[in-house]
Amino acid sequence: MHQFIKQKALLLGFDACGIAKADELKEDAEFMQSWLDKGHHGEMGYLGRNFEKRTDPRKLVPGCKSIVVVILNYFPDTLQHPEAPQIGKYAYSQVDYHHVLKAKLNELEILICNEYGPDSVNSIHQHSFVDSAPVLERRWAERAGLGWIGKHTQLIHPGLGSYFFIGTIMLNKEMEYDAPIRPRCGGCTRCIDACPTNALVNGSLEARRCISYLTIENKNEIPAEFHSLLSNRALGCDICADVCPWNKKWATPHQHSELRYNPAILAWNANDWNQLSEAGFNTFFKHSAIKRAGYKKLIANLEVIMANK
């Protein structure tokens, strides 16, 4: 079963697949509780909800025994002009990555059900909502042998770097599992040193200081202390990933036609972005991950970065 699933995942176009035993994440639960207690999640109140389910997948999906973890490379072959308001690479595609992953996970689920019977998969739909399900995706990817959580808190795959999305399927069958690999950051601190807002503290992320949080998730005004630190980042942030030697060496452009670029992202200059109307936003970014931030948020971010210029 282990080999069948991994082989099919690769055939469907995922860049890697690993399988972990479903278990309680006791240490992560302790860490996460103290992270939440310190308020490091900011306005992302949903991270505190369903705590028991988030830290034990068997409570999320009763009967779950194994977690299949897949990753999908999103590293682009072309980057925005550096003078243009910068958008996180995760949002370059025309279609929101959640939909792309979900569709591919559904295909994998069908293949598993056809081979092993429909009772082997539990609520796949729940878990193919990549970010929204209470699943600690990076930890499961680590347990499934796909890499380690770097000091920038993202999962690094030793042959791909960290520019990829993670998806999971919960199964109610036991099988052979992949062995985790040891962290390979060593003494490197490039991500910590490069982070303009000092958001990476003691091996974890103070989300309220992270530009990605400030430009996407935080719906209030961005505190003035961060304005100049945003530089020209309009939505999301890749600084800590860009400086990582594992990305410099291993990140290679993806080949996924489903993640084809939104032409606006690569073509637009600062003027184009600043003239964007709400109707234009709804047209150009109709299916995009940028839609999640919303028009008002994007415009507010653009105002901050224009003032920086």
Question: Which listed residue (8, 190, 227, 256) binds ligand SF4 by CB under 6 A?
Answer: 190
56 labelled catalytic: no
Measured from the CB of residue 35, what is the shortest distance to ligand B12 in angstroms?
4
Size of interface with ligand SF4, in residues (CB under 6 A): 23
Q: What is the four-CA torsion angle of 110, 111, 115, 116, rounded to 10 degrees?
A: -50
8 A C-beta contact, residue 88 and residue 235:
yes
Contact partner at residue 90 from ligand B12, ligand SF4, none, CB < 5 to 8 Å by partner kind: ligand B12
Q: Which is nearer to ligand B12, 42 or 177 (CB)?
A: 42
247 CB-near residues (< 8 Å, 6+ apart)? 75, 161, 162, 163, 241
Number of C-alpha atoms within 13 angstroms, CB side, residue 56?
8
Q: Could you say whether residue 195 binds ligand SF4 (CB under 6 A)?
A: yes
Question: Which listed residue (84, 133, 240, 298) binds ligand SF4 by CB under 6 A?
Answer: 240
Return the SS3 of 144. Answer: coil
215 CB-near residues (< 8 Å, 6+ apart)? 222, 230, 233, 234, 235, 236, 237, 293, 297, 301
Catalytic-labelled residue, pool 131, 178, 242, 272: 131
Q: Could you say whether residue 57 binds ligand B12 (CB under 6 A)?
A: no
Q: Could you say whether residue 259 binds ligand B12 (CB under 6 A)?
A: no
Interface with ligand SF4 in residues 244-263 (CB under 6 A):
244-246
Q: What is the DSSP letter of 113?
A: H
Strand ranges (DSSP E) for the chain? Answer: 16-21, 66-73, 86-87, 121-122, 148-149, 155-156, 164-171, 200-201, 204-205, 233-235
Q: Tell me which stretch binds ligand B12 (CB under 6 A): 108-116, 237-245, 278-286, 296-304.
A: 237-245
Q: Which is nearer to ligand SF4, 60 or 149 (CB)?
A: 149
Question: Which listed residue (205, 222, 289, 298) binds ligand B12 by CB under 6 A?
Answer: 205
Q: Tell me which stretch binds ligand B12 (CB under 6 A): 3-11, 61-69, 129-137, 179-187.
A: 129-137
Query: Which contiguous run of DSSP H or E holds residue 111?
Result: helix 97-116
Query: CA Rg, the chain, in Å?
Result: 19
Question: Which listed residue (127, 151, 208, 254) binds ligand SF4 by CB under 6 A?
Answer: 151
8 A C-beta contact, residue 57 and residue 67:
yes
Rounded Cα distance, 155 and 141, in Å: 8
Q: Which is nearer to ligand SF4, 69 or 210 (CB)?
A: 210
Contacting positions for ligand SF4 (CB under 6 A): 150-152, 185, 188-191, 195, 197, 199-200, 205, 210-212, 237, 239-240, 243-246
Just list the catalytic residues.
131
